[in-house]
Amino acid sequence: MAREIIIAGNWKMNLLPDQAWDLVEGLKDQLKPQSGLKVVVVPQAPLLPLVSGWLDGSFIEVGSQNSSEHLSGAFTGEVSPQLLRQLGVAWGLAGHSERRELFHETDAQVAAKADLLIQQNLTPIVCVGETLSEREAGGHLAKIANQVKAIYAQVPKEAAKHLVFAYEPIWAIGTGKTATAAQANEIHQMIRGVIAESTCEFIAQATPILYGGSVKPDNATEILTQPHVDGLLVGGASLKPQDFIQIVQAFDHL
């Protein structure tokens, strides 16, 4: 089954409005829509209305870095997925490794966020992955499998087709290290197996699984050509217009 390729740029807590404008204009100028490819930019929350407006009418879509597991209420500092939808946001990261590691988000919280994003007609990109110590101890497969299973324990089966996953080897984020293409494919294949066990083979084969971990122009093509890799979640390189453009253009080699 042919799955759509998704390339998302996570800006993290970077860029002021003028810098974001320059980046967006560069992407709009040099990237063109292609069948089978989705391009997403993921700014920090205060930039979302601006970026969404700048990209209005463009094929480039907008995602949020985080959202609440609640629609509204006394949750100071949180962002409602209902509001995100009103702002023109179409995607939402859930459980990014930095949210899990630095802000101690649990599997249950991530699952609740993913479920609510779907309810609000946003596509969640659920991030899963392991630390270096977990990989070296041999516990990484079980950890990732449990993270995936937690999502399906919360998200109803009829909504499962709206999920996207991203595998983030935490040890390869911002370190310059990268899982080999074969290592990434192996984990993606395992994730797909867990999806099949949790839902059915059809949904497993239809679910996009992205790779995120020090993606750069020089490794994007090799990673994307792996049979179980359906796109990329790009960090630092998404802040550099030419680097991100080259990563997106890796789609041309598939």
Please give the positions annotated as active site.
Answer: 96, 168
Number of domains in the chain: 1
Determine the pLDDT at residue 179.
Answer: 83
Residues 6+ apart with CB under 8 A from 130: 139, 140, 143, 144, 169, 170, 171
List 164's β-bridge partners, or say none.
125
3 state SS for the chain: CCCCEEEEEECCCCCCHHHHHHHHHHHHHHCCCCCCEEEEEECCHHHHHHHHHHCCCCCCEEEECCCCCCCCCCCCCCCCHHHHHHCCCCEEEECCHHHHHHCCCCHHHHHHHHHHHHHCCCEEEEEECCCHHHHHCCCHHHHHHHHHHHHHHHCCHHHHHHCEEEECCHHHCCCCCCCCHHHHHHHHHHHHHHHHHHCCHHHHHHCCEEECCCCCHHHHHHHHCCCCCCEEEECHHHHCHHHHHHHHHHHHHC
CATH of the domain at 214: 3.20.20.70
Determine the pLDDT at residue 1.
Answer: 60
Asked whether residue 125 is domain-assigned, the answer is yes
Asked whether residue 18 is domain-assigned, the answer is no
HSE, side-chain direction, 13 A CA sphere, residue 42: 28
Determine the pLDDT at residue 173.
Answer: 77
Asked whether residue 118 is domain-assigned, the answer is yes
Asked whether residue 50 is domain-assigned, the answer is no
Cβ 212 vs Cβ 232: under 8 Å: yes
Asked whether residue 160 is domain-assigned, the answer is yes
Output the CA angle 220-225-230, nearest 5 degrees: 85
Determine the pLDDT at residue 136.
Answer: 86
Amino acid occupying residue 86: Q
Between the alpha carbon of residue 12 and those of residues 34, 128, 166, 239, the distances in Å are 26, 17, 16, 9
Asked whether residue 58 is domain-assigned, the answer is no
Question: Which residues constitute the domain of residue 210?
Answer: 5-9+89-254
Determine the pLDDT at residue 177.
Answer: 73
Residue 90 CB burial class (10 angstroms; 0-12, 13-18, ≥19): middle
Asked whether residue 249 is domain-assigned, the answer is yes
pLDDT, averaged per 10 consecutive residues of the chain (254 residues), comes to 91 98 98 97 98 98 98 97 98 97 97 98 97 89 97 95 96 78 96 98 97 94 97 97 98 94
Asked whether residue 60 is domain-assigned, the answer is no
Cβ 79 vs Cβ 116: under 8 Å: no
* Token pair listed for 116: 């609510």
